[in-house]
Amino acid sequence: MGVTPGQVKRAFKYRFCPTDAQAAELSRTFGCVRKVYNLALAARTEAWARQERVSYSQTSAMLTAWKKTEELAFLSEVSSVPLQQTLRHLQSAFIHFFAKRAKYPRFKSRKKSRRSAEYTASAFCYRDGKLTLAKMSGPLDIVWSRPLPEAAMPSTVTVSQDSAGRWFVSLLCEDPSVRPLPATDTAVGIDVGLDHLLTLSTGEKITNPRHELRDRARLARAQRSLARKARGDGANRRKARIKVARIHARITDRRRDGLHKLTTRLVRDNQTLVIEDLSVRNMVKNRKLARAISDAAWSEFRSMLEYKAQWYGRGVIAVDRWFPSSKLCSHCGTLQDTMPLNVRRWTCGCGTTHDRDVNAAKNLLAAGLAVTVCGAGVRPQRRTPGGQSATKQKPSQREP
């Protein structure tokens, strides 16, 4: 189901260059946010051991008490809004845990956790294209790479710093430009793979760009250089670590940009999109293929496809992962007994010669359209006798 204009809240992310004073203030805020989150999680964990539950309002009262102690008086030096927001995030994490949608919340690490702080409307001022945060005398020097929606007013602002040292600000605004597209009668089946990133039921094959493979040699050199540096907080090790992080960031940025362009094209061109309900989390347990599967980013592709389809009034259907899309003849419906992964083309008894991936995409499309007619849903995930989730062997080629 699509959405009506003005109801979509969209995050617009930009890079910015803070002054030394702003960087110091934000770094203090990140540290305080992490400290409050860990203190509140520890308090709730102790209560959980006593079979008691602690609510958000109780942790908010704890925060007030912590600020009055000599040991934690530094919490009063930063804006209180990001500290309250991290308590709300912790509350959401526990709600998902109790609903069995997520694991138990974990403590935030100083070195490994994401450095971020969220500000609500009471803690920032956005006027005439300039954004000023609480406790700061001047606006942030933001690189406005694209305009915000006309007359948009951010509801929340999230400031973050990645492992490569880059600063980002994300503004959450209502975007009236997002509206359902005119309905069409086109539908497409999508089969994912490693040799080709996507194979469509139309016969189109989209090459896997293999972003990580292109920078693998460069990344390996940077990682060897980092491994030779003495452990600790030395300047040389910090420089080597940032160099590795920048290569990873470059790979991630290119991958995400490619997926955005691809998913937008598919959603705009097709009314119904049929994909396979793969369990990528279990598939990456294959040590020979884990690197290639992660580089293909099938889960991120599906996530983008689903939320863009919701934006623009399109439909995404996930077919059960145990549906034999590769072994089923899309022409006569004959099911083959076996279909090894090294077989890329095969001929059915009816005389039809199939490309393995194109045939699978056609079968997915037919199964997805049948689901819409019959009103059936996706079958629950099957379990092996040992209790672990079983997955279909999907990759079409070994990692190079």
Q: How far apart (Å, rounded) are the C-alpha atoms in residues 127 and 162? A: 27
Q: What pLDDT sits at residue 337?
A: 84
Q: What is the mean pLDDT of each run of 10 residues along the chain (400 residues)?
A: 67 96 96 97 94 92 96 95 97 95 93 92 93 95 92 92 95 90 93 93 94 94 95 90 95 96 95 92 90 93 95 92 88 86 85 89 91 54 36 40
Length in residues, the chain = 400
Q: What is the mean pLDDT of the chain?
A: 89
3-state class (DSSP) for residue 48? helix
Q: What pLDDT sits at residue 111?
A: 84
Do 29 and 78 meet the contact criterion of CB atoms below 8 Å apart?
A: yes
Q: Any catalytic annotation for residue 191?
A: yes
Q: What pLDDT sits at residue 336?
A: 86
Q: What pLDDT sits at residue 365?
A: 92
Q: How far apart (Å, rounded) are the C-alpha atoms in residues 208 and 195? A: 6
Phi, psi of 361 (to 5 degrees): -65, -40
Would you list the domain boundaries of the chain?
6-173, 185-208+258-372
* DSSP class of 388: P
* DSSP class of 77: G
7-31 b/e with 16+ CB inside 10 Å = b?
ebeeebebebebeeebeebbebbbb
Q: Please report the sign of the dihedral spanned by the C-alpha atoms of residue 54, residue 55, residue 59, residue 62.
A: negative
Q: Which of 25, 212, 276, 295 is catalytic?
A: 276
Q: How far apart (Å, rounded) are the C-alpha atoms in residues 77 and 41? A: 22
* DSSP class of 335: B
Q: Any catalytic annotation for residue 276?
A: yes
Q: Which of 25, 175, 212, 357 is catalytic?
A: 357
Q: Amino acid letter at 341?
A: L
Q: What pLDDT sits at residue 6?
A: 52
C-alpha distance from residue 316 to each of 305, 361, 364 (Å): 8, 14, 12
Task: Find the largest Cα–Cα distance for the chain.
Answer: 83
Q: What pLDDT sits at residue 348?
A: 87
Q: Any catalytic annotation for residue 77?
A: no
Q: What pLDDT sits at residue 387?
A: 37
Q: What pLDDT sits at residue 395?
A: 43
Do 102 and 96 meet the contact criterion of CB atoms below 8 Å apart?
A: yes
Helical (H) or strand (E) element with 168: strand 167-174
Count CA atoms closer than 13 A to 374's CA, side-chain side.
Answer: 10
Q: How far apart (Å, rounded) are the C-alpha atoms in residues 321 and 318? A: 8
3-state class (DSSP) for residue 40? helix
Q: Which of 191, 212, 295, 320 is catalytic?
A: 191
3-state class (DSSP) for residue 142? strand
Q: How far apart (Å, rounded) are the C-alpha atoms in residues 205 and 190? A: 10
Angle at 370 between CA 366 and CA 376, to 5 degrees: 135
**Which residues lie below 8 Å from residue 128, measured CB to CB, with a gap of 6+?**
none
Q: How far apart (Å, rounded) are the C-alpha atoms in residues 340 and 348? A: 15
Phi, psi of 102 (to 5 degrees): -155, 165
pTM, two decimals, is 0.83
Measure CA 209 to chain center.
19
Phi, psi of 148 (to 5 degrees): -75, 160
Each residue's pLDDT tens digit, 270-325: 999 999 998 898 999 988 899 999 999 999 999 999 999 999 999 999 998 888 88
- Assign domain 185-208+258-372 one CATH number from 2.40.70, 2.160.20, 3.30.420, 1.10.1660: 3.30.420
